[in-house]
Amino acid sequence: MKATYRTLAIGIFMLIVSASNAQTKDESCFELFNQLGTEKFDDGKYQQAIYLFEAALRCVDKKDEETVKLQMKKSTDCIKFMQKADDKINSGRYDAAKTFYAAIINLNPKDKFVMNQIKLCDDKISEAVNE
């Protein structure tokens, strides 16, 4: 796991260097990292989104800092809810897991993995009721 984060950090560093060296009128360093962070957030890759949002905040041309900080907070909250939901799934508490997954969907309605997890919870709850 640490190797993955290290590789990601190196990749982000390389992107920062290339973005700062090749800024164009169309896309600034800040815009690039903010966009990449938003894409990762939408895909449910919250830790990667946080790294990219942090990179955006390190850009010289940063703007709309509060929006990026809000996205970082939402990413952190999603990670916490995911950990709690996964713990509940592992203990067979599908109703409680569904509550935490629903909290993630409230923050990120585009998270397909979480939508599938909610369906799994619904299926498991239905199975238990029908037994």
pLDDT tens, 98-114? 999 999 999 999 999 99
Work out the pLDDT band at 129, boundaries 50, 70, 90. confident
With tokens 């029908």, the residue in question is 130
Long-range contacts of the stretch 118-121 (C-beta < 8 A, 24+) = 120/89, 120/94, 121/89, 121/94, 121/95, 121/97
pLDDT tens, 7-57? 666 566 656 555 555 444 456 899 999 999 999 999 999 999 999 999 999
CA dist 115 and 97 (Å) reads 12
Nearest Cα neighbor of 53 from 68, 42, 31, 40 is 68
Provide the 10 A C-beta neighbour count for residue 126. 11
pLDDT at 101: 98
Query: 31 CB contacts (<8 Å, ≥6 apart)?
Result: none
